[in-house]
Amino acid sequence: MSDHTAASVIEQSKHDCEAALQYEFRNRELLEHCLTHASVATTRLASNERLEFLGDSILGMIVCELLYHRFPEFPEGELTRLKSMLVSRLTCADIASRVGLESCLLLGKGLASSAEIPSSIKAAVVEALIAGVYFDGGLEAARRLVERLIAPELERATQKTHIQNYKSLLQQLTQKMTGQTPVYQVIDEKGPDHSKCFLVSAMIGSQTFPAAWGPNKKEAEQNAAKNALLEIQGEEP
């Protein structure tokens, strides 16, 4: 590949990246640095690894702040679980694929010709670009980028968290309303020892709520907590 052709490829990659991010870099060299994998860099310091290191922390900080303000009723443990889902390498790799960053990466010949780019490389470029936008446009620009990139994952994660943590939501509600903590009681069980089902009810003080079945005690308690929440809200369990 001639120098002119290589330069054209790099410029196209930068243009495509800016379109994917909906952000235009003032510092074009910084953008190229963000996209440069170690496999094609002249030295490790010329790759995006240091930017990836910083971007990981910037991403974590912005996501923590976002979750803190968006979910004022969530305790620390719930926020920690959500954060770990949203800043994971898997989530970052999914974001890279979703917005089309894979084609923007500057890779060595071996990686560029492979059928599938490793998820670790895709995750790393997202983190590097977050750091790049932070340096190029400041914290507010980085925050806008992270919130835009993470929005679909945040929606899925919060839906999943609500589904899986009825017990936590019920405890928060009852402690606010009555100062009491729900207690769960096994009402019945059936099936062989290796495959039992459990019927569990939630109790708050002297009040017992409609029981629910589950394939294990943990899921039965979650279902019982859901029934209790529905009844408290005046809905049919």
Q: Which residues are catalytic?
A: 56, 127
Please tell me the total number of residues recorded for the chain in this structure: 237
- Any bridge partners for residue 194, and if so which? none
Q: For the range 65-74, what are the long-range contacts, defined as Cβ-Cβ under 8 Å and sequence gap of 24 or more? A: 66/146, 66/147, 66/150, 66/154, 71/158, 73/172
DSSP code at position 235 = -
DSSP code at position 212 = E
Residues 6+ apart with CB under 8 A from 70: none
Compute the radius of gyration of the chain from its Cα atoms: 24
For residue 200, the tally of other CB atoms under 10 A from its CB is 24
Structure tokens at 123: 């995750």
Answer whether 203's CB lies under 8 Å from 183's CB. Answer: yes
